[in-house]
Structure 1
Amino acid sequence: MARTNLSKHLLLLAATTSIVALLVGFAPSEVEETTIKLEVPLQIISIDEEIVKTQVTDTEAPAVIGTQIGLPTPSGLVKHDPSYITQQASVKSGDSLSKILSSHGISNQDIYRVSSADKKPKELTRMRPGQQLEFVKDKNTDELISLKLIKNQLETIAFEKTDGKFVSSKVVREPETVNVYKEATISNSLFLDGLKAGISQSMLIEMANIFGWDIDFALDLRNGDTFSLLFEEKYLDGQSIGFGNILAAQFVNNGRVYQAIRYETNKGAHYYTPDGLSMRKTFLRTPVDFTRISSKFNPNRLHPIFKTTRPHRGVDYAASKGTPVKASGDGKVIFKGKQNGYGNVVILDHGRGYTTLYAHLNGFSRKIKRGGRVKQGQTIAFVGQTGYATGPHLHYEFRINGTHKNPVTVKLPNDEPMAKKDLKDYLPYAQTMASALESYHSPDYMQKLASIKR
């Protein structure tokens, strides 16, 4: 049976061979070449370098391992690329972190997470009106990605999400500091002429505080008085963002020259004369800023209400109602209340026999109480018109061992002198700063100084 099948196959093969030979014999001698182009549109699909592998077993043929072009990517291999958006919000009075973020679609869970990362001193709970919140979230899911509390131009608190948790950090920018010189001559007032010369109001107040122990800015200023300042101005990205410290200052008042230089010791930064004496005195010359004297110290003054001759044992400073009254020196509150014609009164004991009295007050500062201590310059009360007073003013008395002294002319005791070890380093520094200040003086200013020295 097998031999019969084999014979049939051989006969079929022979017949096929004969037919092929016959066809070749009739074929033309030259064959025209024809090019066939196959154009297959391909769709290029980008896959994030994921490789689809075909697992093989010992019984399967080996498969080619590689990138599968034109096939849909398995869902588990798709890399999520969210679209992030950045939003900002200005903190307003009464705002909280939760209120601001929830209004922008942030979930309570994310608000809790970022709040938990806010360690001491709890910056997010101490936000102030005017500060800025900047946060990044997923546009599709509202998931919070990062948060920044911009406290000011120099300081930012940042919260970045890492492994599902937020981590806080502080970003502090350092401004460029430039030394600036200004000078002015008084013809109208300290503020008008100072502002006209390009000196800020805050800088003028600071200068007045520096010289306030020697110059009564309510009484002593004269037309023609001159002053000069060397101070710091801070820049960020080429823009002025404010002022730093006054480094050196000079005030020519009624023919007297006062000079102050800032110097820092282990007790802090203070102002000193070029010789190393502290500009700070134990007492301020005046307990209210930039007012006028309405009634001087006079043992034989005619009382404006009773029209009788009564001694006026203090100085009256006319000022608008509510003007802050400052403690003229460190001391203890030994009286706070009412005293007959004085109205509301505060009396301070400064030790060593010195006491001061402040009368006709509109009200008292909440921070003072009888028996408590106050610091020089601290607000203790406010100008008023209580008691026997014809208008709002402060009545101020200065006593030494119970004896009234004229606050305007009394010699004020100096503060503690600079330590000798600090003085050794200070003196050459003071000479350098004084020379630097002098090098900027205008010719008119130099001429005025020269006339005083003569």
Structure 2
Amino acid sequence: MRTRLFTAVGLALAGILVLGWAAFGSRAERSGDVKVVDVPTPPAPIALVHRLQRGETLGDVFEDHGLGPAATHAIAEAMGEFESPRRLRPGVAIHFVRRLGEPPARIRVDLDADRILHLWSAGDAAPRWSARLDSVQVVRDTLLLAGLIRSNLFDAELSGDVETLGDAERFDVAYRISQVFAWQIDFWRDLRQNDAYRLLIEREVRPDGSVRDARVLAADFRNDRRVLTGVRFEQSGAERAEYYDEAGEALRGQFLLAPLDIVRVTSGFNLRRFHPVLRRTRPHLGVDYGAARGTPVRATGAGRVTRAGWWGNYGNAVEIRHANNIRTRYAHLANVARGVAAGTQVEQGQVIGYVGDTGLATAPHLHYEFLRNGAQVNPARLQLPRAEPVAAESRERFAALRHVVLSRLRSLPMPVQPTQRARRTQD
């Protein structure tokens, strides 16, 4: 029995050894026969950026990056669906993606801050390119800001969501508040120290932090002893939004108080003014606004241009005919804006020229005249009608919007001068 048991165990061990050799030994022998094949990895694509130079054409750029005339023509056709290649301005970034030794297969053109054009090759024998236009995604937010006037709009002491403003936006706040109340406040003569404002701004912000667009939704302005309010509202069927007071009356008048955004009056309407060039007393039948050369000049009212160009002592000048037999004149311009000529229809606020010192002038400034029935009158003393109020059918919608924006606006206190601030703290 014992002999048989030993024999069985021996046979079992031998079987295990045979199976182990079959499983591992034979594989070890075969491992020497395995062949390793090196599959070459294609080189990584190369990305290049070229900025379009003045006088340079797309054909020049594409040729420098290995694209022939046929490919250039195909790319131009694909681009033409979204943007004319001839309209690309110097500085536009053109991104090329290519492999070593091959022409570009993908191109990206940053048309502007908001539009990106993607182009790619179909890879056919005959050059064929496709295009897709993408818009830069923006985030919409709102800001609450307040300002306390020291001497002018630009040096106001800002409070509220100030930390979110870029340097350019701080400067822009003054223009935005002046545009809302341009028909109620002369921002050179009417401002007082410790005047104040607050405004609710809606912005569209790009991924890089720059602002695509911004608009004032509501604003309050404390000017001396009066407080003005503006609410942005677009009536049904209107071409654009307007600003209205709390009662729904339009803030916009038929004429702006001044033809420049922020102005400095250097000489008012005066029937006995001493002329600095002629050195004698003569009537000054207009208002002179001091401003840097090149400052945009805006039409104070909508109308048709009757004269544009050189006009004797006026230098370069523009005259506009308005309704009710009213004309306005803008003189001593450095030059007239492009597209403005006799017979041209212009809108209120449209740029018609740029401040200069042409004609009988000693320094850059704008001479502005307001004529009624052919005679110059003092524009500062005119009481002109406003635009149409909120229509009856839009009153309910206006009231709902007014409640929302003014509640949000007035959650931020109106700034007060330091002495008033101290009194409130003590109380």
- Bin the TM-score by the shorter chain: 0.7 to 0.9
Aligned residue for 1:229?
199
Inter-CA distance 270–93: structure 2 relative to 1 (3 Å threshold): farther
Alignment of 1:327 onto 2:290: no
| Counterpart code for 2:89 | R
2:106 maps to 1:146? yes
Shift in Å at residue 180 of structure 1?
Answer: 0.9
Q: Aligned-residue CA RMSD in angstroms?
A: 3.4
Instruction: Say yes or no: does 1:208 pair with 2:178.
Output: yes
Runs of 4+ in 1 over 6 A off after TM superposition: 33-38
Structure 1, 215-224 or 85-94: larger mean CA deviation: 85-94
1:153-180 Cα shifts (integer Å, max 9, x gaps): 5432112333523221122242221111
**TM-score when scaled to structure 1?**
0.74
Which one of the candidate residues 219, 236, 242 is aligned to 1:249? 219
Q: Aligned partners of 2:343 and 2:84: how far apart in 1?
A: 36
Task: Name the CA shift for 1:350/1:235 in 2 (closer, same or farther; >3 Å).
Answer: closer
Instruction: Say if 1:79 and 1:264 are closer, same or farther in 2 by CA, change over 3 A.
Output: farther
Find the partner of 2:73 among 112, 135, 144: 112
Q: Matches of residues 160-179 of structure 1 in structure 2 within 5 Å?
A: 160-162=120-122, 164=124, 165-179=128-142
Measure how far apart 1:80 and its partner are: 9.8
Equivalence map 1:209-358=2 (5 Å): 209-237=179-207, 239-242=208-211, 243-265=213-235, 266-267=237-238, 268-305=240-277, 308-336=280-308, 341-358=313-330
Q: Secondary structure at the match of 1:117?
A: helix
1:321-354 CA deviation, whole Å, 9 max, x = no partner?
Answer: 4433222111122234555544444322102121
Offset at 1:224?
Answer: 0.9
CA distance in 1, matches of 2:275, 2:41: 88
- Structure 1 residue 283: deviation in Å? 0.9
- The residue that corresponds to 1:182 in the other structure is 145
Instruction: Provide the C-alpha distance between the structure 2 equivalents of 1:154 and 1:361, rounded to a whole number of angstroms.
Output: 34
Q: 1:133 aligned to 70, 94, 108, which one? A: 94
Asked if 1 retains the 8 angstrom alpha-carbon contact of 2:196 and 2:222, the reply is yes
Q: Does the C-alpha gap of structure 1 residues 383 and 124 become closer, same or farther in structure 2, counting only changes over 3 Å? A: closer
Equivalent in the alignment of 1:87: 48
Contact 1:216–1:285 under 8 Å retained in 2: yes
| Whole-angstrom distance in 2 between the partners of 1:362 and 1:146 | 46
Structure 1 CA distance, aligned partners of 2:397 and 2:140? 24
- Give the % identical residues: 31
Q: CA deviation at 1:46?
A: 6.1
Amino acid at match of 1:417: P
CA contact (8 A) 1:107 1:143 kept: no
For residue 118 of structure 2, the aligned residue among 158, 173, 179 is: 158
- Paired with 2:255 and 2:289, the residues of 1 have a C-alpha distance of 17
Q: Does the 8 A contact of 1:287 with 1:328 survive in 2? A: yes
Task: Name the aligned partner's letter for residue 408 of structure 2.
Answer: A
- Between 1 and 2, higher relative CO (CA 8 Å, sep ≥ 6) is seen in 2
Residue 158 of structure 1 aligns to which amino acid in structure 2? H
Identify unmatched segments of 5+ residues in structure 1: 1-32, 48-77
Q: 2:331 aligns with which of 359, 365, 380?
A: 359
2:175–2:261: 8 Å Cα contact kept in structure 1?
no
Which residue of structure 1 lines up, in the alignment, with residue 64 of structure 2? 103
| Cα distance in structure 2, aligned partners of 1:194 and 1:109 | 60
Matched residue of 1:357: which SS? Answer: strand
Q: Residue deviations 1:380-430, cap 9 Å, x none? A: 233333444443322222122234322123113212333322233112211
Instruction: Determine which structure has more spread, i.e. the larger CA radius of gyration.
Output: 1
Task: Give the drift of 1:226.
Answer: 0.8
Match of 2:354, SS state, is strand
- Map residues 359-398 of structure 1 onto 2, 5 A cutoff: 359-398=331-370
Q: Partner of 1:414 in structure 2?
A: 386
Alignment CA distance shift 1:79-1:383 (3 Å): closer
Corresponding letter in the other structure for 1:371:
G
Q: Is the 8 A contact 1:287 1:326 kept in 2?
A: yes
Secondary structure of the residue aligned to 1:300 is strand
> 1:90–1:129: 8 Å Cα contact kept in structure 2?
yes
- Assess, with a 3 A threshold, how the Cα gap between structure 1 residues 270 and 101 changes in structure 2: closer, same or farther: same
Q: Give the structure-2-normalised TM-score.
A: 0.78
* More divergent stretch after superposition (398-407 vs 171-180): 398-407
